[in-house]
Structure 1
Amino acid sequence: MRILVTGASGFIGGRFARFALEQGLDVRVNGRRADAVAHLVKRGAQFIPGDLGNAEVARRVCQGVDIVVHCAGAVGTWGHYQDFHQGNVVLTENIVEGCLKEHVRRLVHLSSAALYGDGPGLLDVREAPLPRRFHDHYAATRQVAEQKVFGAGEFGLEVLVLRPSPVVGAGDTRLFPAWIERQRQGRLAIVGNGLNKVDFTSVHNLNGALLSALFVDAQALGQAYNIGNGQPVPLWDAINYVMRRLQLPQATRYRAPGPAYARAVLAEAACLAWPGQPEPRSTRAAVKRDCRDFTLDIGRARQHLDYRPKTCLWSALDEFCAWWQAST
């Protein structure tokens, strides 16, 4: 069985491609940077370069594969809508079209738990229903991309969608690095009372879920699955654990959510008015993330994917810290 992993030059796609190679699978990869997938090529992966925003490239990378694991996409909470639309919707449309035209059997689509919105507190969230409106371009375009994937199921393509909570492990360049940078700048503060619980996903657990999605039978198809560690922890305990491991000062200052949110609104307004619209130092999405509860119900994945998270958050954070120290 040959699989294609898109987005293999990124964190999640690269980690899964390596994991799949270690399981003895025949792996083809596509990514934005050849240097970032060189370690996969050395391990036996076939690399086909090209921009998946081009429909012909997307079709070419799908030729001769049985299953596509689509990890490529635009991430973040700030930027122009057209960039998120191109990175999430157009790329997914092209991959879906490539799968159908090249008779790929199955498409496993990596989405995000960000689809569940930015409410004040979300506990044990199930896969449905989704919010009627989305307040950021990332979630809105991810939801449209999912619709494209599920629509392809009506034409005979086997489809599954995975929605992981924030993913942690060696190679993470966005989540914990952002908190680390804010602490180094003296700007990190606990928003709220610091007791809000969140669910993370170890990249090892996500790899296991993606691998299971390659082989599950027909009854598991056509659905979305929450993926998480299944053991929510206080967010600020996790952040301060990383600070201790990296020998950085822990976050001890507290900031009320209201004033923090107001500052973020002003920062966003200023950046929207600035030429080029640079990313603000604080965003509304980041403030909400830092002070709200957010946990997932992973029962469906346990039942249909036989998903059993084995790596705890603290092991995942240890792995991240060792990688961060070695690479900085």
Structure 2
Amino acid sequence: MKILVTGASGFIGGRFARFALEQGLQVRVSARRAEAVEPLLARGAELVAGDLSDAALVQRLCRGVDAVVHCAGAVGVWGRYAAFHQANVTVTENVVEACLGQQVRRLVHLSSPSIYFDGRDHVGITEEQVPKRFSDYYGATKYLAEQKVFGAAEFGLEVLALRPRFVTGAGDTSIFPRLTNMQRKGRLSIIGNGLNKVDFTSVQNLNDALFSALLAGAPALGKAYNISNGAPVPLWDVVNYVLRQLDLPPVTRHLPYGLAYGAATLNETLCKLLPGRPEPTLFRLGVAVMAKNFSLDISRARHYLDYDPQVSLWTALDEFCQWWRTQQY
């Protein structure tokens, strides 16, 4: 099987491209710059360089491949809607049109459980529990991109979407690097009582889920799938585990939720008024994410994708910490 992996210069796309090569697949990757994917090229991946906003380029990317794993997109909670729409919706439209134009058989789309988040506690949330309104531009555009993907099924494209929660492991530059940096600066506090449980996903487990999505039979098609390790854990226990592994003091200071939320509201308001709208150091959405229970029901993935998470969170955290230490030194 020959596949295209978009977003291969990023954490999830890059890890899956490497995994697919190890499984014996032929892998084509997209990136703006060749140096961003040099390790993959050294392992035998084929590069077509360019910007996925270029529809003609995406047509060339999809020529001659059997399936596409679409991992590219914008992540974050700050910025203008137009930028998120361009990166998450317009680019996905280009990928869908190219799959149809080049007769690609299957498209596996990497989505996000951020579409569910509304600032409240959620335990065992299912794929159908999508809110009527979205909390941020990221969640809104990721859901809209999903709809573009599922709409292509009527034209014969086999489609699936995966929504993995808090993916970590070697290469993670999002979750724990930010938190450890805040702790080094003395700005990290436990928000609320610190007992909230959340889901994480080992990147190795996500690789297995993406690979299963490439091979799954007809009953699995046309569906979105929650992906996690399936075992919610206290968030602040996980944060302190990583801090200890990196020889940093654990976070013990508590900040009441209302106070943190109010400070985030003020911070965001000020940043909107400043020239250039700089990114705030504290977000309302981030405060809620760090204080609320949030876990996924993964029974659909277990049933249709035979998904069975094998790599524990603690193994993934050890992998991240070992990798992060090498990056620092």
Query: Would the TM-score normalized by the shorter structure come out above 0.5?
Result: yes
Q: Does 1:253 align with 2:274?
A: no
Q: Secondary structure at the match of 1:131?
A: coil
Q: Structure 2 CA distance, aligned partners of 1:245 and 1:210? A: 29
Question: Superposed, which structure 2 residues align to 1:1-328 within 5 Å?
Answer: 1-328=1-328
Q: CA deviation at 1:173?
A: 0.8
Q: CA deviation at 1:7?
A: 0.1
Q: Secondary structure at the match of 1:48?
A: strand
The AA in structure 1 aligned to 2:261 is Y
Q: CA deviation at 1:118?
A: 2.4
Q: TM-score, normalised by structure 1?
A: 0.99
Q: TM-score, normalised by structure 2?
A: 0.99
The C-alpha deviation readout for 1:147-187, integer Å capped at 9, x for no partner, is 00000011100000000011011111111111111101100
The AA in structure 2 aligned to 1:217 is G
Q: Structure 1 CA distance, aligned partners of 2:225 and 2:265? A: 33
The AA in structure 2 aligned to 1:289 is V
The AA in structure 1 aligned to 2:47 is F
The AA in structure 2 aligned to 1:200 is F
How many residues matched? 328
List runs of 5+ in structure 2 lacking aligned partners. Answer: none
Q: CA deviation at 1:224?
A: 0.2
CA contact (8 A) 2:163 2:227 kept: yes
Q: CA deviation at 1:249?
A: 1.1
CA contact (8 A) 1:10 1:31 kept: no
Q: Secondary structure at the match of 1:30?
A: strand
Q: Structure 1 CA distance, aligned partners of 2:221 and 2:91? A: 22
The AA in structure 1 aligned to 2:141 is T
The C-alpha deviation readout for 1:18-46, integer Å capped at 9, x for no partner, is 00000010000012332121100110000
Q: Structure 2 CA distance, aligned partners of 1:44 and 1:93? A: 28
Q: CA deviation at 1:80?
A: 1.1
The C-alpha deviation readout for 1:54-74, integer Å capped at 9, x for no partner, is 110111100000000000000
Q: CA deviation at 1:129?
A: 2.9
1:210/1:242 Cα in 2 relative to 1: closer, same or farther (>3 Å)? same
List runs of 5+ in structure 1 lacking aligned partners. Answer: none
CA contact (8 A) 1:9 1:34 kept: no
CA contact (8 A) 1:62 1:102 kept: yes
